[in-house]
Amino acid sequence: MAKKVIAVSGSPGTGKTEIAEILAEEIGASLISIKETIEKEKVKFRWDRRRKSKVIDPKDLQPAVSRSLNEGWNVVEGLLAHLLKWDVLIVLRCNPRVLKKRLEKRKWGEQKVLENVAAEALGVITFEALQRKKKGVYELDTTGLAPRRTAGIIENILKDSNLGKRYLPGKIDWLRNRKLVKML
């Protein structure tokens, strides 16, 4: 059996880690955390002092993730998952107002919160993914969904391509909300 990848990406705070864990368990797939892979494989990075975060080139990350893949399905979870090689990409989205509260609860700095909220509002991750590959990309709004329910929807998308049509990119548009635009 070939190595196949379901990438789970999205802005910080959209539920990637918990949803990916549940999904991998439900479908019997290997789970690969990008964060853990970076540490374990000592992937090179530079430190961004202003953002207080690592900056990693996906070209340096891909070989480390590839070494971790097993035969059959693998769920690769993390912020950079959409920039790696994948067969199916799930982009998790969240209403920017809710996302802002989640990130503030993590005690993130105001600049980092606003940067991530703006990226979510604009759909940056979906845009970046579609620049690489158009087929196999799905978006799910996790704002009001429990993680187990979200994982179930992903599992159903994998089983039924007709259901997947409901989750094709472009259906989530936060910028239609005038109150949200004023917040940004």
pLDDT for the residue numbered 55? 86
What pLDDT is recorded for position 182? 57
- Of the listed ranges 21-30, 55-64, 69-78, the one predicted with least confidence: 55-64
Answer yes or no: are the C-beta atoms of 79 and 9 closer than 8 Å: yes
What pLDDT sits at residue 45? 87
Q: Find the range with the poorest average confidence among 3-7, 16-20, 44-48, 173-177.
A: 173-177
- pLDDT attached to residue 51: 75
| φ, ψ at 54 (rounded to 5°) | -80, 145
Tokens of 49: 């002092």
E-assigned strand segments in the chain: 3-10, 30-33, 46-48, 53-55, 72-77, 88-93, 137-141
**pTM for the whole structure:** 0.92
86: nearest Cα among 100, 76, 72 = 76
Residue 75 to residue 36: CA distance in whole angstroms: 13
Q: Is the pLDDT of residue 179 over 70?
A: no
pLDDT tens track for 98-136: 999 999 999 988 989 999 999 999 999 999 999 999 999
Name all domains of the chain by residue range, CATH numbers in brackets: 3-183 (3.40.50.300)
